Amino acid sequence: MKSITIHNLEPELEKGIAAESKRLGLSLNKTIKKLLRKSMNLPKKQAKKADFSDIAGTWTQEEYDEFERNTAVFEEIDEEMWK
């Protein structure tokens, strides 16, 4: 991914970007990228998922229920084994 430097940024532009950054609670870099995407009518960037579902997949409720049924035996404690 490329990086760019903007020289001689006008004070009012810098203040406006800083104010927008504060309003959004984002870094200056993220705010500038958001403003550029908006000005170019590009779709909003998808946020990264914190649950890894995009790479690991997800289960349906039916699959989850089946897994729980098939692994229930591992929750049982064999008292004889612990004597």
Structure confidence by residue, pLDDT tens digits, 68-82: 999 999 998 888 888
pLDDT of amino acid 27: 95
Distance CA 9, CA 22 (A): 18
Count the domains in the chain: 1
Q: Which residues contact 24 (CB under 8 A, 6 or more apart)?
A: 30, 31, 34
Q: If pLDDT is split at 50, 70 and 90, which confidence band does 24 have?
A: very high
Q: Which residues contact 51 (CB under 8 A, 6 or more apart)?
A: none
2 domain-assigned: no
Identify the domain containing residue 64 by its residue range.
11-75
pTM here?
A: 0.54
DSSP class of residue 72? G
pLDDT of amino acid 56: 81
Q: How many CB atoms lie within 10 A of CB 32?
A: 16
Give pLDDT tens digits for 35-65. Answer: 999 999 998 877 676 777 778 888 899 999 9
80 domain-assigned: no
5 domain-assigned: no
DSSP class of residue 47? P
